[in-house]
Homo-oligomer: A and B are copies of this chain.
Amino acid sequence: MVFSMTMQTPGTSTPAPVFSQRRDWAADNVVGFMMKQAVDHPECISLAAGLVDPKTLPVEVTRQAAERMLGDDSMARTGLQYGTTEGSHRLRDLLLEYLAGLEETTVGELGIDRDQLMLSTGSQQMLALLCEAVLDPGDICLIADPTYYVMLGTVTGLGARAVAVDADEDGMRIDSLEQTLESLDGDGLLERVKMIYIVSDFDNPRSVSLAVERRQRLVEIAAGFSDRQRMLVVEDAAYRELYFDGSPRPSAWGFDEDGQTVALVQTFSKCFSPGLRVGFGVLPSDLVGPVRDLKGNQDFGSASFNQHLLATVLEDGLFAGHVEGLRGTYAAKRDVLASAATEYLGDIDGVDWLVPGGGLYIWMTVPEHVDAGFGGSLFNRAVEQEQVMYVPGDLCYIGVDGVRPRNRLRLSFGVEDSDRLAEGMARLARAIRAEL
């Protein structure tokens, strides 16, 4: 037998284990490195972690909802049984109302029904599914630079390519988007552009929001390609609920008049509980089937239990109060971190930061000769000597080492309490001064 001969061949060298191409594409994992730093340096004050504040987690609200759900035999059994791949009818109907509230309109005016709303394991799964449904190896996704670095992993994990579009304090620049498309056209690559990824509200890492008029213009540009190719706008609204003043902005999705251009992706991880992993997408109708089939192959469907628990939270009116409290907490912590920055770094030329109107992050620039980058001198000094950790800003840029700016820092006010935020900024300031 051929294969048993092979089995017995002595002295052959052991080749490298074989993995799929997808495995190789997925291998570069920055999050893993950052988590290892956190584990290796537990004494550090973390201005790095993008986690939500553990003190704000809705323990009591969840307890109440679980009590009602598990005290109702029928509701309990529905939650403990398989659901469908698309997710619970009950929660999806409630989410249509929830979405109408955010868009400041009515469910009827939304122009969609429950079938276009699909539940997922956090918003990350919906982002990944949309990428899988649309991107082939070699395809291009346009992304504002700097960006949510996990999305870069998702895109490159499919063998596709992220191409940077410049952004300013109002998010992705429309002129840069147009120039990028022209330049790709000049290179014969325009037809490979299948996706534009935007984080419309309080993005990661800068907490800047895309200006409302840009949302509209961007959707028009993408829709303009609809007679030759799908150029899907994926709108990631993970931080949408975390506004500190005023009210939520209209989504880019709301400007998609034919409903064929924008997929809106949201999550309850930031505004309620990451541990429940409930996210959702609002999809163009022709993407519903493809995304459902892909999700069916991946996991059949996300946990029914969590969907019914969250549905109970929404139904019982337990959500609004929680998220209002959350906004207050984060706004206060932003103020503490921003004030500490002024106190400890306000006098240094070339140290600047954005004070955001929402979200979880303050984006800081230090003088160009300071190496704040991944594995660089400031990062090591901060971690080893001052015991404070941040996310090096270069990780959030598209493109190769050497051209990414290395003088930016993402500082999060998510996890630590006010005292430690102030102390963390004092320590960071000492580290920065030592590098000047």
Contact = CB atoms under 8 A, between A and B. Distances in A.
A26 B306 contact: no
A248 interface: no
Q: Which of A52, A84, A125 has most B Cβ within 10 Å?
A: A125
Contacts of A59: 70, 73, 76-77, 80
Query: How many copies of this kind of chain does the complex include?
Result: 2
Given A17-B286, A23-B132, A27-B290, A190 B3 contact: yes
Interface stretch (A28-36, A92-100, A347-355): A28-36
A400 interface: no
A63 B57 contact: no
Contacts of A12: 227-228
Nearest to A120: B299
A83 B275 contact: yes
Contact of A306 (B52, B84, B301, B305): B305
Interface stretch (A161-169, A178-186, A202-210, A324-332): A178-186
A35 B26 CA distance: 34
A223 to B, nearest CB: 8
A224 B1 CA distance: 12
A367 interface: no
Contacts of A58: 80
A181 B3 contact: yes
B57 A23 contact: no
A147 B277 CA distance: 32
B80 A275 contact: yes
A122 B225 contact: no
Contacts of A274: 80-82, 304
Contact of A82 (B23, B158, B190, B269): B269
Contacts of A128: 297-299
Nearest to A31: B296
Contact of A275 (B15, B82, B294, B297): B82
A330 to B, nearest CB: 16
A302 interface: yes
A294 B81 contact: no
Given A1-B181, A59-B80, A122-B300, 18 more contacts: A3-B224, A7-B221, A7-B225, A12-B228, A15-B227, A18-B230, A22-B158, A26-B293, A57-B76, A57-B80, A59-B76, A63-B71, A63-B76, A82-B269, A82-B275, A128-B298, A128-B299, A150-B297
A221 B294 CA distance: 32
A136 interface: yes
A334 interface: no
Given A1-B182, A277-B303, A70 B66 contact: yes
28 contacts: A2-B185, A3-B185, A6-B227, A6-B228, A13-B227, A14-B227, A15-B229, A17-B230, A20-B133, A20-B135, A20-B139, A20-B158, A22-B294, A23-B293, A29-B296, A31-B296, A32-B296, A52-B81, A54-B77, A57-B77, A81-B274, A82-B274, A122-B299, A122-B300, A124-B300, A157-B297, A277-B299, A277-B301
Q: Which of A13, A71, A80, A83 has most B Cβ within 10 Å?
A: A80
